């Protein structure tokens, strides 16, 4: 700790479970928001069934559970602007980027222009992204 500034590490949260069937998706989101409050360098990865967490049009009225999918669209306001979705996971589920919510952030260095924070990436790129991290947390 120098000049009152904390250490910034690269944190990566890997989400591999569908929402609502287990508590992992919601718990991950809570932990991500906590880390964001500590101004860390955060990346989110959605792979395997985790890609279902980001689908648009989730409607939980019928199952009597809280719909937390809107929270993902607020991640940009917490300065989380690196959300990676594995392309191969989408493909083997018959999904595409069009089935997912749009995630945006406002770039303070570019007159608050709205920019995409969701990136569909191939397996090879994802390997590199994960390898660059200081801390990887699995959900």
Which positions lie near another protein, rule CB under 8 A?
17-22, 48-49, 52, 55-63, 65, 67, 69, 92-94, 99
CB of 53 to another protein, least distance (A): 9
* Nearer to another protein (CB atom), residue 42 or residue 90: 90
CB of 66 to another protein, least distance (A): 11
CB of 45 to another protein, least distance (A): 16
Contact indicator for 59, 70 with CB cutoff of 8 Å: no
* Nearer to another protein (CB atom), residue 15 or residue 133: 15
* Nearer to another protein (CB atom), residue 18 or residue 36: 18
* Nearer to another protein (CB atom), residue 101 or residue 125: 101
- Containing 75, the helix (H) or strand (E) segment is none
Burial class (CB in 10 A: 0-12, 13-18, 19+), 34: exposed
- Whose tokens are 């303070």? That residue is 108
What's the rounded Cα separation, in Å, for the pair 102 and 98? 9
| Positive or negative: CA dihedral 59, 70, 34, 45 | positive
CB of 121 to another protein, least distance (A): 19
**Which two tokens mark 119?**
């990136």
């Amino acid at each position: 700790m120098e000049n009152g500034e904390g250490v910034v590490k690269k944190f990566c949260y890997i989400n591999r479970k569908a929402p609502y069937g287990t508590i992992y998706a919601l718990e991950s989101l809570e932990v991500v928001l906590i880390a964001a409050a500590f101004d860390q360098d955060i990346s989110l990865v959605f792979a395997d069934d985790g890609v279902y967490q980001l689908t648009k049009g989730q409607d939980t009225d019928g199952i009597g559970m809280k719909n937390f999918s809107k929270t993902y669209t607020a991640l940009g306001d917490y300065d989380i602007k690196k959300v990676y979705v594995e392309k191969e996971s989408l493909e083997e589920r018959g999904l595409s980027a069009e089935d997912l919510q749009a995630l945006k952030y406002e770039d303070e260095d570019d007159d608050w222009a709205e920019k995409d924070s969701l990136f569909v990436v191939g397996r090879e790129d994802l390997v590199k992204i994960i390898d660059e991290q200081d801390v990887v947390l699995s959900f």
